[in-house]
Structure 1
Amino acid sequence: MNKKKLINIAETWFSNQGWKAFAFQKQTWDAFLKGKNGLLNAPTGSGKTYALWIPIVLAYLKQNPNYKTKHRKGLKAIWITPLRALSVEIEQAAQRFANEIDSGLSVGIRTGDTPQKIRAAQKKSMPDLLITTPESLQLLLASKDYDKTFKNLQAVVVDEWHELLGTKRGVQMELALSRLKTVSGELRIWGISATIGNLEQAREVLLGPNSEAFENSVLIKARLKKKIKVQSIIPKKMERFPWRGHLGLHLLDEVVPIIKNSKTTLLFTNTRSQCELWFQKLMSKYPEFAGEVAMHHGSINKETRLWVEQAIRNETLKAVVCTSSLDLGVDFAPVETIIQIGGPKGVARFMQRAGRSGHQPGGESVIYFLPTHAIELIEASALQKAVKKQAVEDRIPYLLSFDVLVQYLTTLAVSNGFFPNDIWPEVKATFCFQTITKEQWRWLLNFVTKGSQSLQAYDEYKKIEIEEDGRFKVNNRGVAMRHRLQIGTIVSDAMLSVKYMKGGYIGTIEEWFVSKLKPGDVFTFAGRNLELVHIKSMQVLVRRSKKKTAKVPSWMGGRMAFSAQMSELLREEMYAASASSTVTSNAAGKSEELKALRPILDRQLKESIVPKQDEFLIETFKTREGYHAIFYPFEGRFVHEALGSLLAYRISLLSPITFSIAFNDYGFELLSDQEIDMQQVLDNNLFSEAYLMDDLYKSLNATEMARRKFRDIAVIAGMVFTGYPNKMIKSKHLQSSSQLLFSVFRDYEADNLLYLQSFRETFEHQLEEGRLRLALDRISGQKIVWKNCEKPTPFSFPIITDRLREKLSSEKVEDRIRKMLKSLEQ
């Protein structure tokens, strides 16, 4: 069958559905059938599944002219998805096409949710297309004779590649693909990615730099003009001293008409705690929504999540309060309206969420932006411009993640074993390990067989044996079982199951939150007020409570930081606000958001200034708490955390003074009981890049941060065992085990690659050292404007109240802030 006839099969099927294939779909079919690898850049809901599944089926038909009478068994394609929730969706779409053209191909799913019975059946006979996750693919590589399973593999499709890129799961995929390229001779590799800034690099990471696969690859962009309309929910009365969280829930009444006027609405929150809070407030103030509004986040049990997703598809729900658990391609066309609560912290995330409405190709997406404090209106204004410019972030890939490589080598040793000379060129050809040296490679082989020089006396670290023929192999069944249980790179705090006393599973909650509760305490979870009865063997046993007040759980991953792109857009908008603050309020061309900010900008000008493009603002004032110095780089909380510590350390070198540091996405505060000599700070050029790493090291207690980072590295590298199902090891025990190892390496083996990696990741990923340098470089070129103010300014107020929130309970915070506002408004 020639290519024209094959394409005709697909086009006929499309027209039978009443569809017309997009240009990008046809381009992808053509490229795949020509034997190309590639990266497809297409938005959610644009038909990307059929762009790649169809040519995989057509290629099979071409190779097997007798496909109707003689089906060739075995695995032919793997579809990788980062979220289990997406697998059912892909399975239904793929099976539909395979059945309706009578191809005889079967589709199966293998994830952490797949029952043991189905896995056993798959072991005997694999489906033609397997939909799986990066972790489950590694588990297949850890099974005996995996090379026979993958021998006839023709294609691997990595869906949502932008979500994996820039994470250790992405590194896991790079290593798995490096093996599959060797095992399956005729392999075609494709990625599907939403829009990111570095698409070319994304293709290079997926296929391997300078590889044959990369040389024979294409980048296909779906040029679908998606109209996105951003509409801010602007409060009728604008507060002059904004603070986080205050405005959000005060706008609840503005949200309800939007929900009532739409068939279905998704309310996106940035954190699971915020999600719980909004759901609770919505239900208590508008009980008529009972049964029509639901909640969706990653800690709620799977059955509830699947029910919610199905209910959105059937339009039986009016609204869902959710987190990024509904960000990725869970396909449900009928969503009409999106509300984003609070700044999304990144342009790509915002556009992805906006794309959930008008999810049909050609439909307009409307996204409402609801600020949680007034200054977030500047973010809304910036996002409108970003959407027009299609200005989205890069995803920065990891380099030299030795912990993932140690895990991968153990995976290969658990299955068939490996010869280092065979695996070395494969590893070296990946993007992550392109600069690995022979010396580092030898160190890693030594580490997996002997446990590195400082641990040679302990047998538990000698996991891999070297057999007579030179093969590296795990022969201990206990080691193999523990390794399979721990495959993966997502390391979170220990999760405890939340269950009713009388039975019934509700979801999971992090150990660190529960450890603060006493029996009898009431907390909100999955939209219910629950009373803690007791904690028993990794289970939190609860009963329903009628108490009105309850603690809202928080999760460690709760605070996202601004992307560099978002920071830049925010600064541009701030400079625009500065320009508008010097002219009349109805300045032509100014956004509605900036006009609404008028009262705040007027008050800010009364006390201080709104910084212009060439200005860097520092404000100082005294309150009963002490002497405040506030700095405004507008660079995101991670950069501000580092910058605040750096500056505090450098000031302390000039005169002995101690500070408490607070920061948010806009700036940071140094608070002290004695006055800072700000003129001395300015004269000594404390924003210099000179000795940056040295000073950061001393100022931040980098060793402590690296120690925390090392816990994750130790878990991924398999040095610390997290426990068996239903018998997980407590978080504090994991922490103490990894801390012990960290101390051993620090004292006796300072050149240990995993120990050094913990520092490298702390600086590169947590403190964003590259961004910090750029920020210092920018500040050194600006004119520093120091304003000695009488009292707190509108810009400083959110930072001060954030600090109070860290220290006080929510009721006390509210009272304290009201008193502060009263004195400021006088």
Structure 2
Amino acid sequence: MPSGSPLDLPAPLAAWFAARGWSPRSHQLDMLREARGGNHALLVAATGAGKTLAGFLPTLAELIETPAEGLHTLYVSPLKALAVDIQRNLMAPIAEMGVDISVETRTGDTSSDKKARQRVKPPQILLTTPESLSLLLSYPDTFTMFAGLRTIVVDEVHAFATGKRGDLLSLCMARLQRIAPGLRRVALSATVADPDGYRAWLAPDGDIGAVSLVHGQAGADAKITILLPEGRVPWSGHSGRYAAEQVMAEIAAHRTTIVFCNTRSLAELIFQDLWKVNVDGLPIGVHHGSLAKEARAKVEGAMAEGRLRALVATASLDLGVDWGDVDCVIQMGAPKGSSRLLQRIGRANHRLDEASEAIVVPGNRFEYLEARAALDAVDAGELDPDLFRPGALDVLAQHVMACACAAPFTRDALLDEVRSALPYSALSDDVFERVLGFIRDGGYSLRAYDKFKRLVEEEDGTWRVSHPKFVGQHRLNAGIIVEATMLDVRFRNGRNLGRVEEAFASQLSAGDTFFFAGLSLEVEKIDLTDLIVRATSRPARIPTYGGSRMPLSTSLADRVRGFLADPSEWPRFPDDVREWLEYQTARSVLPQPGQLLVETFPREGRHYMVAYSFEGWNAHQSLGMLVTRRMETQGLKPLGFVANDYAIACYGLEKVIDPASLFSADILEHEFVDWVQQSHLLKRAFREVAVIGGLVERQHPGKRKTGKQVTFSTDLIYDVLRKYEPTHLLLQAAWDDARAKMTDVGRLAHLLDRAAETMLHVDLDRITPLAVPVLTLIGRERVSTAGGDDALLVEAEALAAEAMRLD
């Protein structure tokens, strides 16, 4: 028989396939062949194609053919829920084969007793997460534990390889490769746009040629539809909450449905909306990362056992979890990217030969176009681009400390090891020296304090931990995910008005005004975790509907632009969406691809400027802060701004005559730097890198610090470093985070670079149809009563009526 035939399988495996009437898929046998050749491999295969079995097949075959004690295979998942699900789905086949192979999980939910036992007597297959693996590598006995490791399998590699968790895992793999030189690396994914980028990330020393690329066979095309409201497509909103009754009807018509939401707060709202219209009392649940582990486990168990008809979830269930009875996925609001939509669709059916069914519920008219763009991208096989960047220095500092906790090291040997991880392959000697210096004594400004002296360098050049207490401190506090905190909004007299996301509050400076709890408030100061305000008669300039949002991908934004510029596409759209675009053409213009359309018009004593830049909410939110500052300096008396994924609208008392001057590229050199330094944005970024880098601990033995205590500690250190050591390693890392992650500065810079050459300014006498969705957001901030939704509906219809007149 040719190589790769089923006869290559050990008898128990072959019998297991035969008992089900199955044959191994070609890519599963390809993965087995690569393993027997000792090759690293990246498998890209559709959801339902048996990726997990393909990843484990070589391990099962080898352990059946040559049983061996000790840890053989390490499986790394981005989610604890996925690790548990894989264990459940792997144990059943092993039991059915009648073979003796041990499989266990090790995550933050694993008991300390079990973790201690695993280091002494590990299972043959261990399922874990990047953070738990990093902690495991901080123990001296892991040199023995991992000495015989044969394979590491990285599942859903696209979910974290390009971020800080990927940096950490890459460093962990570099360490494992030094402990077990024969280690074979495997990665699995369904949605990879740049396979070569991931091959380089996966390979030791970035040697792309060392990693074989295995493609899975194509599955049935997904069946995706866009749910349209019983009335008209809404002018504004981004949640699809208007469709609760229609969504509930879809749930009733299917066996099991997962309803995906883009944020945790929206998941809670959608769950409540569905429960109110759940007249049949169907069992439904909610699942997101903020829930207690007991609550998550209860819901996951109910889904696995088929006891739920629907589960409202966030990205906590995006990846890999295999519940075979799920036959429908509903996406509330636009998915923001074709890769994300494909990943979520894959939760339905999990069978390669059957079409997954999915329904997208757009929140507004722009989101209808975005949903249509996502469907077209899926049909075309177009995925969102994967953006790799240099490894983060705070992550490197944490890893170096973990290595020191396990055993002393020499500088050159560790640097060589670190450089074998792709994100750090270009790390300079000088920067690595600064990282070591930071861990040794905290840096020039902090070296007088013993609490920061975690490492010492011996005369022979060996580095070791300076005191055992720092080992325990590291293991208690290590981790990449820093919990987001909320700030209390209160008056100076102590009266509490509620809470806002720190991400929003960190952008504010004293004197800024915003709407909250139905009031226009002026910021007096930010005091640790309190936002101190006072009521003001000044109009609110800054919107409060912030919070973390998924950015609109550039590829979907480009497709939406293409729709606007190509009327031949419009017959595919609902009548009211097509009418909206036709009226915009008659009243103004529609932007061409690559063009920055800016409209100006008066309304009710104010002057408005709307720029249609399609760079996503994050970039637009930052741009709004910067443009209104520049408007202030130009005497335009700005009153505020609002933004969505597609446009930004600024409004003030004076007419904008020259919008080009507000969008010049030097805004990033002047207003941006001033804004970041005057706001708490940099302080917030510093807090994250200080925690990840180990400068500030979140936990002491038996006690966890409050968010307020962590904030107090990091703010003190931040102020010292800003004054005495502005070039400190962690300040540099904080700047990198603030620029890249919190403001989406790359897309912002791209917009400003092209603004001068591509701007088309259209001055009008009143609002246009294209401006209605973003201007409706202004009304949202003024409404906080129970009848708020009705009031906003009236406001949107009034704006639309004005915009859609052709006289």
1:700 deviation in Å? 5.3
Q: How does 1:198-217 map to 2 (within 5 A)?
A: 198-211=194-207, 214-217=208-211
- Tell me if 1:33 matches 2:36: yes
**Range with bigger deviation, 372-381 or 312-321:** 312-321
User: What SS is found at the alignment partner of 1:618?
Assistant: strand
User: What SS is found at the alignment partner of 2:573?
Assistant: helix
Q: Deviations over 1:756-805 (max 9, x none)?
A: 12112222333333323333344444350413232x33332332332443
Q: Is the 8 A contact 2:676 2:682 kept in 1?
A: no
Q: Is the 8 A contact 1:234 1:593 kept in 2?
A: no
Could you tell me which residue of structure 1 aligns to residue 516 of structure 2? none
Q: Aligned match of 1:123 in 119, 124, 133?
A: 119
Could you tell me which residue of structure 1 aligns to residue 235 of structure 2? 242
Could you tell me which residue of structure 2 aligns to residue 759 of structure 1? 735
Could you tell me which residue of structure 2 aligns to residue 681 of structure 1? 659
CA distance in 2, matches of 1:366, 1:356: 10
Paired letter, 1:129: I
Q: How does 1:281-680 map to 2 (within 5 A)?
A: 281-290=273-282, 292-467=283-458, 469-493=460-484, 558-576=548-566, 579=567, 590=570, 592-605=572-585, 607-613=587-593, 615-624=595-604, 626-652=606-632, 654-655=634-635, 657-676=637-656, 678=657, 680=658
- Tell me if 1:714 matches 2:690: yes
1:113 deviation in Å? 1.1
**Range with bigger deviation, 389-398 or 711-720:** 389-398
Q: Is the 8 A contact 1:174 1:430 kept in 2?
A: yes
1:488 deviation in Å? 0.9
Paired letter, 2:235: P
Q: Aligned match of 1:52 in 31, 51, 55?
A: 55
User: What SS is found at the alignment partner of 1:191?
Assistant: strand
Could you tell me which residue of structure 1 aligns to residue 749 of structure 2? 773
Paired letter, 2:776: T
CA distance in 1, matches of 2:265, 2:472: 36
TM value normalised by structure 1: 0.85
Q: Is the 8 A contact 2:206 2:422 kept in 1?
A: no
Q: Is the 8 A contact 2:606 2:651 kept in 1?
A: yes
Query: What is the percent sequence identity of the aligned residues?
Result: 29
1:522 deviation in Å? 14
Q: Is the 8 A contact 1:619 1:789 kept in 2?
A: no
- Tell me if 1:799 matches 2:799: no
1:715 deviation in Å? 0.4
Paired letter, 2:42: L
Q: Aligned match of 2:216 in 214, 222, 241?
A: 222
User: What SS is found at the alignment partner of 1:138?
Assistant: helix
Q: Unaligned stretches of 5+ in structure 1?
A: 495-509, 524-553, 581-588
User: What SS is found at the alignment partner of 1:300?
Assistant: coil
1:128 deviation in Å? 0.9
Structure 1's 605 and 590: CA in aligned 2 closer, same or farther, altered over 3 A?
closer
**Range with bigger deviation, 228-237 or 134-143:** 228-237
**Range with bigger deviation, 104-113 or 31-40:** 104-113
Q: Is the 8 A contact 2:4 2:30 kept in 1?
A: no
TM value normalised by structure 2: 0.87
1:737 deviation in Å? 2.1
**Range with bigger deviation, 179-188 or 354-363:** 354-363
Q: Is the 8 A contact 1:234 1:596 kept in 2?
A: no
CA distance in 1, matches of 2:195, 2:633: 45
User: What SS is found at the alignment partner of 2:185?
Assistant: strand
Q: Deviations over 1:25-59 (max 9, x none)?
A: 11111011100002111233321121121212323
CA distance in 1, matches of 2:614, 2:163: 25
User: What SS is found at the alignment partner of 1:432?
Assistant: helix
CA distance in 2, matches of 1:266, 1:518: 41
**Range with bigger deviation, 115-124 or 342-351:** 115-124
Could you tell me which residue of structure 2 aligns to residue 585 of structure 1? none
Q: Is the 8 A contact 2:640 2:652 kept in 1?
A: yes
Paired letter, 2:40: N
Q: Is the 8 A contact 1:141 1:415 kept in 2?
A: yes
CA distance in 2, matches of 1:590, 1:35: 53
**Count of residue pairs the alignment pairs up:** 753
CA distance in 2, matches of 1:555, 1:409: 40
User: What SS is found at the alignment partner of 1:316?
Assistant: coil
CA distance in 1, matches of 2:336, 2:480: 24
User: What SS is found at the alignment partner of 1:671?
Assistant: strand
Structure 1's 402 and 61: CA in aligned 2 closer, same or farther, altered over 3 A?
same
Q: Aligned match of 2:110 in 107, 114, 139?
A: 114
Paired letter, 2:174: S
Q: Aligned match of 2:21 in 12, 18, 21?
A: 18
CA distance in 2, matches of 1:326, 1:647: 38
CA distance in 2, matches of 1:724, 1:555: 35
Q: Deviations over 1:72-110 (max 9, x none)?
A: 321111111111111222223333444454543211111
1:726 deviation in Å? 6.9
User: What SS is found at the alignment partner of 1:130?
Assistant: strand
CA distance in 2, matches of 1:34, 1:123: 30
Q: Is the 8 A contact 1:24 1:221 kept in 2?
A: yes
Paired letter, 1:718: G
CA distance in 2, matches of 1:40, 1:566: 26
1:188 deviation in Å? 0.4
Q: Is the 8 A contact 2:570 2:578 kept in 1?
A: no
User: What SS is found at the alignment partner of 2:399?
Assistant: helix
Structure 1's 640 and 434: CA in aligned 2 closer, same or farther, altered over 3 A?
same
Structure 1's 690 and 276: CA in aligned 2 closer, same or farther, altered over 3 A?
closer
Could you tell me which residue of structure 2 aligns to residue 526 of structure 1? none
Could you tell me which residue of structure 2 aligns to residue 264 of structure 1? 256
Q: Is the 8 A contact 1:493 1:511 kept in 2?
A: no
Paired letter, 2:562: E
CA distance in 1, matches of 2:545, 2:475: 27
1:630 deviation in Å? 1.0
User: What SS is found at the alignment partner of 2:159?
Assistant: helix
Q: Unaligned stretches of 5+ in structure 2?
A: 501-543, 803-807
CA RMSD across the alignment? 3.1
Could you tell me which residue of structure 1 aligns to residue 140 of structure 2? 144
Paired letter, 1:307: K
